[in-house]
Amino acid sequence: MIELTNVERSYRTGPTETWVLRQVNLTIRPGEFVTVTGPSGAGKSSLLNVLAMLDDQWKGDFLFEGEAVQGMTRKQRADLARRRIGMVFQSYHLLDDLTVAENIDLPLSYKDIPRKERQALVADTLDRFNIVGKKDLYPSQLSGGQQQLVGIARAVIHRPSLLLADEPTGNLHSEQAKEIMDLFCKLNQEGATIVQVTHSKENAQFGSRILELRDGWVYSDTSAKRTAGVQS
């Protein structure tokens, strides 16, 4: 599904060039649940931004479902991401002025989907995530776990083939975190490919494969036999 070859990313600050991703070679197959771990500054979020196609300043080759992302224009990349990728954020990033239902509807509102169809999809998702009773509440009226539930519902409503989660449980206590991770497992079992970034060793175990980054390099990969990144 995803194939990164020699992907590199750096930031230039004056004369200094700081590398955040170095020669990353990575293949993720459909249906995998990959956990990316590593210390702060290891390049986890940078890798996620590359995969989410939010970043376009990297070098190397990136094949997404057989399509070469590096050759795409910004608009084509955004279009592909809009159709195929869902994002879950540590701070949920729900929009304060929108209700739960409106927040969930947000990704659909950026596609050419008829209003009725959107309403049906939102209703299905609310039902699927068991939050029908909260559909008219605003984010500030929900607990952290509930907000992240809405965040995940929003990320998957358009049935993306890849779900990216950046520290999805970072702001939650352990019980809430476990519920969210269970939900991820369920989604994975239903066929979603998931890449999550986490600091938590406990939550890392929910993934079927753990990738550890250090200083931008792929330090280890539990799918060792298939590992492409090698530490120097």
Partner 1 sequence: MHTLIQDARYALRQLMRAPGFAITVIVTLALGIGANSAIFTIFDQVMLRKLPVEKPKELVRFEWTGAYSGSASSFGGDTGNYFSWPMYKDLRDRNTVFAGILAADRSSVGISWHDQAENKDAELVSGNYFDVLGLKASLGRLMMPADDTAKDANPVAVLSYDYWKTRFTAAPDVAGKTLLINGHPFTILGVAPEGFHSAIGGYTPGVFLPVSMSDIAMPWTAPRNDLTNHQSIWLTLVARLKPGITPQQAETALGPLWYALRAQELTGYKEVSARYKDKFLNHTHLSVKDDSTGFNPERQDLSMPLLVLMCMVGVLAAMCAVNVATLLLLRAAGRVREISMRYALGAARSRIVSQLLVEGAVLGAIGAIAGVALSPVIAHSLVRIISNVSDQDQTPYTTAVDLRILGFTLLLSVVVTLIFSVAPALQFIRPRLAEALRQSSGTASKRSQLFRKIAVGFQIALTVLLLGGAGLFLRTLENLRRQGLGFQTAHVLSWQVDPTLAGYTDDRTAQVEMNVLDEVRSIPGVLQAAGTTDPEIAGNQNGSNFTVQGHVAPEEEDMNFEVPNITTEYFRTLRQPLLAGREFTAADVKSAPRVAVVSLAFAMRFYGSPQNALARLIAEGGGNNVKLDTTIVGVVGDVKHQNLREAPRGTIYRPYLQQTLPGGMELYALTNQSSGAVESMIRQRIHRLDPKLVVYQMRTLEEQMDISLANERALAFLAVSFSLLALLMTAVGLYGVLAYATAQRTREIGVRMALGAQRSAVVMLVLREMALTAVIGVAVALPAAFGISRLLTSQLYGVVPGDPLTLGMCVAVTAVMVVLAAAIPARRAASVDPMLALRSE
Q: Which residues bind partner 1 (CB under 8 A)?
A: 45, 49, 52, 54-55, 75, 78, 81-82, 87, 89-91, 93, 95, 106-107, 110-111, 154, 166-167
Q: How many CB atoms neighbour CB 23 within 10 A?
A: 18
Output 51 or 187, the one with its CB closest to partner 1: 51
Minimum CB distance to partner 1, residue 83 (Å): 8
Minimum CB distance to partner 1, residue 223 (Å): 26
Output 106 or 185, the one with its CB closest to partner 1: 106
Minimum CB distance to partner 1, residue 49 (Å): 5
The residues with which 29 forms a beta bridge, in sequence order, are: none
Minimum CB distance to partner 1, residue 189 (Å): 25
Contact 5, 218 (CB under 8 A): no
Closest CA to 61 of 20, 23, 7, 1: 7
Please give the backbone phi and psi of residue 226, each rounded to the nearest 5 degrees, phi first.
-100, 0
Q: Cα separation of 30 and 1, whole Å? A: 5
Output 171 or 208, the one with its CB closest to partner 1: 171
